[in-house]
Structure 1
Amino acid sequence: MRWTDVNDIAIELFDTYPETDPLTLNFVDLRDKVLALPGFDDDPQHCGEKILEAIQAAWIDEAD
C-alpha cells in the first residue's frame, strides 16, 4: 500500500485497531499507525496533512 491507497489503508486500520476511535487520534499517531501496517510500503516523507485527513475520514466511514 501507498499513501494514495486511502480506502485500503482505512480498511486495514479498522481491522488492525478495532478498539481505536479514529476521531481521537492526532495526525502524528495516525501516521505512525499507517506506517506500522503490514503491507504498507511508501516513503514516510510523502505524507501530508491532506492525506492524513483523507485517511481519517475514510476510517471513520469504515467504522460506521
Structure 2
Amino acid sequence: MGHPPLEFSDCYLDSPDFRERLKCYELELERTNKFIKDVIKDGNALISAMRSKWKASMDEPFP
C-alpha cells in the first residue's frame, strides 16, 4: 500500500488535502507502533518461557 506523497511546501497552506494525506501517515505510524509493542511483548514472553524451561531442566537430576 502506497501513501500519497507529502509535500512539505504545502504544509503552510494547511489544506484539507494535506491534512488527509498527513492522517494516512499518522494511522500507519500508529499501526507500526502497535505491531512493535506486540513483538516486544511476545519476545519477552518467549524469553520468560525459555528461562523457565532452562531452570526446570537444571533442577532435574542427572541420570
Q: TM-score if structure 1 supplies the norm length? A: 0.31
Q: Which has the higher helix share?
A: 2
Structure of higher RCO (CA pairs closer than 8 Å, 6+ residues apart): 1
Query: TM-score normalized by structure 2?
Result: 0.31
